[in-house]
Structure 1
Amino acid sequence: MILPSRHLRPVRTSVLLAVACVAAAPSPALLNIDGTKNQIFVFGGVGFGYDSNIFSQRDGEGDYSITAHAGTELKRRAGIISVDATARVDYVRYGEFTEENAWNPRFSVEFGKSSGRTTGSLKISAYRESRADNAINLRTNSWSLPVEFGLRYPINEKLYLTSTTGYLRRTYRDNAALLDYTDWSEALDLYYVYTSKLDLFAGYRIRSSRTSDSRRSLDHWFNLGATGGLFSKMSGTVRFGYQLRDVRGEDQYGQFSASASVNWPITRKLLLSLQGSRDFSTIATGTSVDSTSAALTALYTYSSKLDFHAMLSAGRNNFLNESVARKDTYFSWETGARYRMNDHLQMGVTYSYLKNRSSLLLADFDNHGFAFDVSSRY
C-alpha cells in the first residue's frame, strides 16, 4: 500500500526509528504470564528539539518543541495465532506557535499465523498525525486507518505464492481545502526458490484510489525481483517493473518503477543500508506525483551501549496534473548517536539538514534542526 504524500518527505523519521530498532537490545517484559507466552510492556519518553522551518515553506519560521510519549504493548504467543497490540499517545508542545500543539494517539493490532501450510498476518492500525507536509507546504492534522492482510501459500518445494491486500483511509482536520483520501490495493507475487539463500519472483499490483472530490486513479504495476542473499554479504529485496496510472477524466501516465531495501554488514560493527523507490502517489490536494527517492544509512555499533548513525538521502518529485507545472528535488543528511544505559533506559541525539529546490517559489526552502530524547521501556 502507498500512503499519499508520505513518500514526498525525506526519510528522516523512518531512518531514526530503524536505527533505534536495530540497535536496541530487547528489554525484559514488565509482566510475564505463562512464561513468555503472554507479555505486557510499558514504555515512554520525553524529548527536546528545534526545527528551523516548521511549515516546510519559503521564509517559514522555526520553533523549539518539547515532546512526550507513553504507551503499552501486548505480545501473545499462546495458540496458533500470535497477537501484537500497541496503544500509544504522543504530545508535542511548541514554544512560540502554541496553536500547533497536538495530542496524537495511535493504535495497532496484528494477528499472525506462522505454522501450517498457509501462513499470514492481519494488521489494523489507527493514528493521528500533526506534521509539516512538504508536498503542499502546510502543516496538517489527519487521521489514518491502514489495514494490511498478507498470505503465503506453498505450491511445491520450489514455488510459493503470496498475496498482500491493503486498505487506507485518511481524513484531514481543520482545513476544508484538503481532500480526504481512500485507496485499496492487491499485490500477487509468485516466488521461485533459486538457491537456499535467494528467491526470485514475478509480481503484479493493482491499486485504486479516490479523493473526497470524487477524483479517481487506477494503477497497474508489473514487476520482477529477488529477495534474500543478493551478493556475497548483501541481503534484502529489490523489485523493478513498469507501472501505468490512469487518472479518470484526466491523463494516463506510464513509467519504470522500482523499490529496493538492501543491507550490507561491512564489519561486525558497521552496517550500511540502502533504501530506494520510484512510484506514483496522491497528495492532499488530489494531485498525482511521480516520486523518486534514495537513502543511504550507516550504523556503527561502537559498543553494546553506544552506536552512531549517519544518513544521506535525495529525491525528485514531479507533480503531474497541476495547473502550474511543479518539479521538486531535495537533498538531506542526518547524523546522531544513541546510548543505552541499561535494558530499560536509553537516550539519543540527532542533527539534520534538508534543502528542497522547487519550480514553485513557495516550496523552495531549507530546514535544519536537532533533537534530544530520553526513553524507557519495561
Structure 2
Amino acid sequence: MGFRSWRARSRRALVAAALMTTIVTGTAGWAIGSEQQPLTGPPPGTSSWRADHTAGMTLPDPETASPDRIAAFFDSLDQDRRDRLVARHPSVVGNLDGAPAALRFEANSRYLRAERAREQTRVTDPDLTLQDHERARSLIDRYDELLTPGRQILAFDPRGRGQVAEVYGDLATAEHVSVVVPGSDIDLSTFDRATDRYGTPAGMGHALRAATGPRTAVIAWVGYTTPVGLGPDAATGRLAEAGAPRLVRFAQGLTASGTPRPAVFCHSYGSVVCGLAASRLPTADLVVLGSPGMRADSVADLHTTARVWAAKDDSDWIDKVPSVELFGLGHGEDPAEPGFGARRIPAERAEGHTGYFAPGTDSLRAFARIADGAGTSDRNRPTGART
C-alpha cells in the first residue's frame, strides 16, 4: 500500500472518529439518543377498511393504491357516500393521501374525539398504573389542544410517539403551498411546544404563513419517526429512509387532490429525509436549513428538477458536524457549501440551530418569497440569495 493511499485511509478514519465523537458526546447540551422504531405501513384502521363491503363498492387499498387512484375514487362519490366513509373509518380517511382535505379535516376531528374518549376511560382504569393514568391525562390535554376550533388537522396518528400534520391558511383556494419537514425530537407532543417556538413545526409553519401573501397555505408535517437526541439514529439514514417514501406519498397526495406543487422546507435531519425523497417529490423548490447533509455530494446527485436552496447561519452548531458519509455514518456534503451547487439563502440574522423562521430574519424573508412563488424564477430570486 502506497503512502498516498495510507494517508487517505488515515484521513477517512480520523473523520469517522471525529464524527463518532460528535455523536457520543453530543452538541449544545443534547443527550445521547435512544434508538427509535420507524412507523411504516398504511393508516391505523386499514384492516377494517379493507373488510368493508357494506357500501356496495370496492374501497382502494390505503397501502397499494396511488394517491391519484385515491383522489379519483373520492371524485366518483357523492357527498353522502363520502360522509359515510368518514363516519365509519375516520382513522383511514384522515390519513389517506389523495383524499380531499376537507374530508381529512373532518375525519381527524372525529378520530381525535374518539381517541380522547378512549384515554378518558384509561384515566380511572384500576388495572393500569399511575404512570399510565398520567400518560392518559397528558394525551387528553394534547387532543383537546388539537381539537381547538379553527385548527385544520390534515393527518393524525397516535401510534408510537404520534404523528400529525396541520394546515395554516386556506388550502382549498391557495395558489401556493409549502410543506415544512422538521428534524430530530419532534413528535405529537413537541409539535407545537411553547419553548423554542421557532424550532417546532407549528412555529415554523405559523411564521412562514404570517410572512407570506393571503393566497398561500403552509403545512407543518410530522409524518415520519424522527431521531431522539444525538445518537446512531441522528447520524445514520435509517429513519430518513423510512420517512422519505411517506413524505413523497404525502406530497403526491396534495397534488392529486388538486393543490399546487408544494415548496418543501426541510430543517436539520428533515433535510436528510428530503434528500432521499428529492427525486420523487413533486416540488419546484426544495429548501434545506441547518442541514447536516442530504446523503448526496451535489445537487446533481439528488436527481431532482426542483431548485435547491440552502441556508446555514454562522452560529448554528450543526456546522460542527463533519460533512462526510462514511461506513453509514454522517450525511454527506454540506448543502450550504458552494461546491454542492445549491442556491444560497442569507441567514446572517438567524441565530442558532432553530432561529431560521424567527420574525425579522433575512432567512424568513427569503423563505417567504420562495413560498409565494417568487423564488421559482431566475429573474426574481429572494433578496440576497446567491447562486
Structure that is richer in strand per residue:
1
Q: Which TM-score band (shorter chain)?
A: under 0.3
More helix by share: 2
Alignment TM-score, normalising by the size of structure 2: 0.23
